Amino acid sequence: MFRIGLFLVTNLAIIVVASISLSLLGVSGILADNGVDLNLQSLLIFCAVFGFLGSFVSLLLSKFMAKRSTGTKIIQQPQSEDERWLLQTVSDLAGKAGIGMPQVGIFPAQQSNAFATGWNRNNALVAVSAGLLQRFDRDEARAVLAHEIGHVANGDMITLSLVQGVVNTFVMFFARIIGFFVDRVVLKNERGLGMGYWITTIVAEIFLGILASTIVMWFSRRREFRADAAGASLAGRSAMINALRKLQQETTAHVENQMPDTMTAFGISSGWKQRSSRLFMTHPPLEERIEALRFGQ
């Protein structure tokens, strides 16, 4: 119920802010003054406002949503040796990477995993699963944390939001052009926007959104290689390789990813999950990541 309420409130806020932004930019509609032609400039502004606004609202709420969806407990005062080691290790790695100290947390999953998120490289969140702390030795766990610190230092969360914003913008833009073409040329509607426009736009958005998601997934896979390289630099190449190999053992054993789907792209591992195509994978296969580190790619 909470998630539904938050979803509705977030989308309402996006609509209100977008409406104000469009008004300030002088965009009152996507049709030209004659009510017949499409105003491409207004349409592009309209799509950009909604496309980027949704992406950046998600980024700003990312820490809050990550804590809620994963059940992450933030370490305020360490209560155990593991928690003290975790805080100290993240502090050391953050200092080496030149970023501010992130919040540090543990989430209750038996699968070995970790994630980093946040809108600012100096105000991020790094969390590890309870299972990872139990099964990984200190060098391997440190390498995983270094990988996540690498994501933060590389600004991956912000860059991914920018990529998603661009993708959203052009999916909306071209879907509406396709809808307008069908409405005017195929269905011969001469003024305004008819039902054919709205139905075609929805169908086109779904189709183009699926195609465009492959671009986002490609970037997500590339950033994993960069974060692995950063982890190797901060914690040692052999430790990073050993950590990935241990993650690979769980993947080979078909251990399911216990993180919510919305957080999968932010984890160090997507776990085992049957996929129809590599194009829609958020992470490269672990064997490829290991090979990239072994040969310094």
Domain containing 293: what range? 1-297
Identify the CA nearest to 123 among candidates 105, 149, 146, 102: 102
Residue 124 DSSP class:
-
pLDDT for 271 equals 58
pLDDT for 276 equals 54
pLDDT for 19 equals 66
With a CB cutoff of 8 Å and minimum separation 6, the contacts of 104 are 74, 75, 86, 87, 90, 125, 126, 127
Which element (helix H / strand E) includes 52?
A: helix 40-60
pLDDT for 20 equals 72
Counted domains in the chain: 1
What's the average pLDDT block by block, 10 residues per block, for the chain (297 residues)? 50 62 67 78 90 87 89 92 95 95 93 91 93 93 96 92 93 94 88 89 94 92 94 95 91 63 68 63 90 83
pLDDT for 16 equals 62
User: 114 forms bridges with which residues in the sheet?
Assistant: 128
pLDDT for 13 equals 58
Could you give the angle at which helices 40-60 and 62-70 cross, rounded to 10 degrees? 50
Question: In this structure, what token pair is assigned to residue 151?
Answer: 């994501």
pTM, 2 dp: 0.84
Residue 45 DSSP class:
H
pLDDT for 25 equals 65
Distance CA 294, CA 297 (A): 8
pLDDT for 61 equals 87
Catalytic positions = 148
For the chain, report the end-to-end CA distance as a whole number of angstroms.
Answer: 46
Residue 38, SS3 per DSSP = strand
